[in-house]
Amino acid sequence: MCLEKRLEPDIEKHQTKEQAGFRPAFYGGSILDLKLKDKHRSCDIRHKTKLINAGKHAQQLKWKWAGHMIRTTGERWTKLVTTWKGPKGKRARGRPIDRWTDDLRKVAGDNWTEAAGNRAQWRQLEEAYTRGGP
């Protein structure tokens, strides 16, 4: 039986990265006709079925897009919006909403835009970002 690489289903239904990694692994087990009580490891199931870990793949795509976007020349809309500091004035009460760049800053630091300019350094940080995550 030939299986193509594909993203695991129903990933958008899950709220966190930890939850996203659980259900799709069992889906791979059903392809191999494995029973849940046999307790096969998720990484072994993914290796045999050649399914992609959707959470890790999404992180890799985000990291690569961020580096690509920052290295572009000119004043593009995506670059301007990402590096925009926000409106001046008071913020609403409560916990601030996480920004798209917050988890990039956790791995690459506050000067993540400068780190993205150096491709070799950015690739090394990508491994740290996708392995442990923010």
Tell me which amino acid residue 24 is.
P
User: How many domains, in total, are found in the chain?
Assistant: 2
pTM of this structure: 0.63
CA separation for the pair 124, 134 (Å, rounded): 15
Low-confidence ranges of the chain (pLDDT < 70): 1-33, 35-38, 132-134
Within this chain, do residues 45 and 59 fall inside the same structural domain, yes or no? no
pLDDT, residue 132, reads 64
Examine residue 74 and state whether it is found in any structural domain, yes or no: yes
Within this chain, do residues 27 and 78 fall inside the same structural domain, yes or no? no
CA separation for the pair 118, 132 (Å, rounded): 21
Range of the domain at 17: 11-52
Examine residue 36 and state whether it is found in any structural domain, yes or no: yes
pLDDT, residue 64, reads 93
**Count of helix runs (H) and strand runs (E) in the chain:** 8, 0
Within this chain, do residues 48 and 63 fall inside the same structural domain, yes or no? no
Within this chain, do residues 121 and 68 fall inside the same structural domain, yes or no? yes
pLDDT, residue 61, reads 93
Within this chain, do residues 48 and 60 fall inside the same structural domain, yes or no? no
